[in-house]
Amino acid sequence: MQNKRIARAAGAITIVCVLFFSSLSVSAASSILKKGMRGDEVKQLQINLKTLGYFNADTTGYFGSITYSSVIKLQKDYGYVQDGIVGKNTQALIDRLLSRGSSSSRSASDSSRRVLKKGMRGDDVTALQNDLKKLGYFSVTPTGYYGDITVSAVKNLQRDYGLTPDGIVGSNTSSLIAKLKENPSSVEKVSISSRGDTQRTNYLAPWYSEASRIFARGTVATVYDIGTGLSFKVKRTYGTNHADCETLTAEDTKIMKKIYGGSWSWARRPIIVDVNGIKLAASMAGMPHAGVESAPANKVVNSRSGGYGRGTNLDAVKGNNMSGVFDIHFYQSKTHGTQRVDKNHQEAVKKAAEWAKKNLG
């Protein structure tokens, strides 16, 4: 009798244990995965990330730095909170992408709002390249890697249809591709281009919505001075309300100073800024300021050029014989100090635009 009671008790305990561990299994299947965890679920996550092109290491089942970075990149590409944690929303995204990836009819236009840009790889990039090839912008074999050829193809497409030529496939470019695939004649080109060499009909590119993106920080451009016909190279290194620029070399500084008659001046001059073949009407002030050539960039220094005194050293290009930056304004740009549109600069920008229409076509 005693043995039967013990057996019944043991059986009850076994049932409870089975139910308990079954509950744990269900809970784990819907658990949050994050750094420091390990197990089969983490390994499956790594396999899924690998399938989507985000994980390039061995699947170990340990949620370490590589897995964390892979999740961050996935979240960033699709506009999710970048916390490196695979919760309900991120897991749903992964499931959706895996489900969509099995479809043979997938194209770049149904990329679930993913932003595609240089350095990325995967099925979405392959689909983009196939679409660009059908539209006549991509002439090589699709590789799934977003390199310089893909960037150039996207820029050419964007220029032809009036989008900012940044080489990035965001929502606007993705929508454009979808429209062109459905009905090419439904979207009209804004200009006739030959291998990306676009002739603008309106050189007044608004600063905040267009010019600031074309002439982004770190971009090298050619400045053509309308009054003298001289040109020199510059690099945009700073500036938000307008472009703070530096001459590229000592020879460029010499040419710029010659334009101003041998002496630096705050006088506004109408210019054309050529950024990779895109010509923009602009205005420059020939006074280097806020920098010290001999001191490290971005460090707090004394006696900055242009009478700016102590502050952050805005001098990133060394060896150009210029201390600090000079201003280049575009249509509707503003000054840093007053946060207002400068009338004299805008008049010079408009003069440059009129000159461009007559002389550049």
Q: Which residues of 178-197 are buried (b: 16+ CB within 10 A; e: fewer)?
A: eebeeeeeeeeeeeebeebe
Residues 6+ apart with CB under 8 A from 221: 215, 233, 234, 235, 236, 273, 274, 275, 276
Tokens 């299994």, residue located: 25
**Do both 282 and 176 map to the same domain?**
no
Averaged pLDDT score across all residues of the chain: 83
Burial class of residue 221 (count of CB atoms within 10 Å of its CB; 0-12, 13-18, 19+)? buried
Domain assignment present for residue 23? The answer is: no
Task: Please give the residue that has the higher pLDDT: either 77 or 171.
Answer: 171
For residue 197, pLDDT over 90 is answered with no
200 located within any domain: no
240 and 350 inside one domain: yes
pLDDT at 198: 39
Q: Are residues 95 and 122 in the same domain?
A: no
**In-domain check, residue 346:** yes
Please name the residue ranges forming H helices in the chain: 2-29, 40-51, 65-77, 88-101, 123-134, 148-160, 171-182, 212-214, 250-259, 343-359
Query: Which pLDDT does position 20 carry in this prediction?
Result: 39
4 within a domain of the structure (yes/no): no
pLDDT grade, residue 23 (50/70/90)? very low
Same domain for 261 and 173?
no
Q: Of 73, 101, 129, which residue sits at a domain end?
A: 101
Select from 82, 101, 120 the last residue of a domain.
101
Binning pLDDT at 50, 70 and 90, where does residue 201 land? Answer: low
**81 domain residue, yes or no:** yes
Q: 84-88, 242-246, 275-279: which range is least confident on average?
A: 275-279
For 158-172, what is the mean pLDDT?
A: 83
Question: How far, in Å, CA of 82 to CA of 35, rounded?
Answer: 13
Whether 155 maps to a domain, the answer reads: yes
Average pLDDT over every residue of 267-280 = 94
| Pairwise CA distance, residues 108 & 115, whole Å | 10
The answer as to whether 10 is a domain residue is: no
Going from the C-alpha of 230 to that of each of 248, 265, 277, 347, the distances in angstroms are 15, 17, 17, 20
* Mean pLDDT score, 298-310: 95
200 pLDDT exceeds 70?
no
Same-domain status, 187 and 130: yes
Specify whether 238 is located in the same domain as 311: yes
pLDDT band at 42 (very low <50, low <70, confident <90, very high): very high
What is the pLDDT, as a whole number, of residue 235?
97
Are residue 293 and residue 221 in the same domain, yes or no? yes
Cα(77)–Cα(340) distance, rounded to whole angstroms? 35
* 98 pLDDT higher than 80: no
- pLDDT reading at 15 higher than 70: no
User: For the ranges 155-159, 181-185, 195-199, which has the lowest average pLDDT?
Assistant: 195-199
Give the end-to-end CA distance of the chain in Å, rounded to a whole number.
Answer: 106
Pairwise CA distance, residues 18 & 203, whole Å:
74
Distance (Å, rounded) from C-alpha 264 to C-alpha 256? 9
> What's the pTM value of the predicted model, to 2 decimals?
0.49
* Residue 140 Cα to chain centre, angstroms: 24
Q: What is the pLDDT of residue 160?
A: 80
- Report residue 304 as tokens: 């900055």
| Residue 234 forms part of a structural domain | yes
pLDDT digits (tens, 9 = 90+) for 44-95: 999 999 888 788 888 999 999 999 999 998 887 776 788 999 998 899 888 8
* Domain stop point among 66, 85, 101: 101
CA distance 343 to 180: 41
**Domain containing residue 144:** 108-194
CATH number at residue 157: 1.10.101.10
Q: Are residues 223 and 325 in the same domain?
A: yes
Least confident of 167-181, 197-211, 274-288: 197-211
Q: What pLDDT shows up at residue 298?
A: 94
Q: Is the pLDDT of residue 17 over 70?
A: no
290 neighbors 314 (Cβ within 8 angstroms):
yes
pLDDT greater at residue 161 or residue 193: 161
Q: Are residues 257 and 352 in the same domain?
A: yes
How many separate domains does the chain show? Answer: 3
Please write the tens of the pLDDT for every residue from 101-147. 544 344 444 444 578 888 888 888 888 999 998 888 888 888 888 88
Angle at which helix 171-182 crosses helix 148-160, to 10 degrees, equals 70
DSSP 307: G
Q: Which pLDDT does position 338 carry in this prediction?
A: 86
Pairwise CA distance, residues 58 & 36, whole Å: 16
User: Do both 260 and 326 map to the same domain?
Assistant: yes
Residue 60: HSE in the Cβ half-sphere, 13 Å Cα cutoff: 13
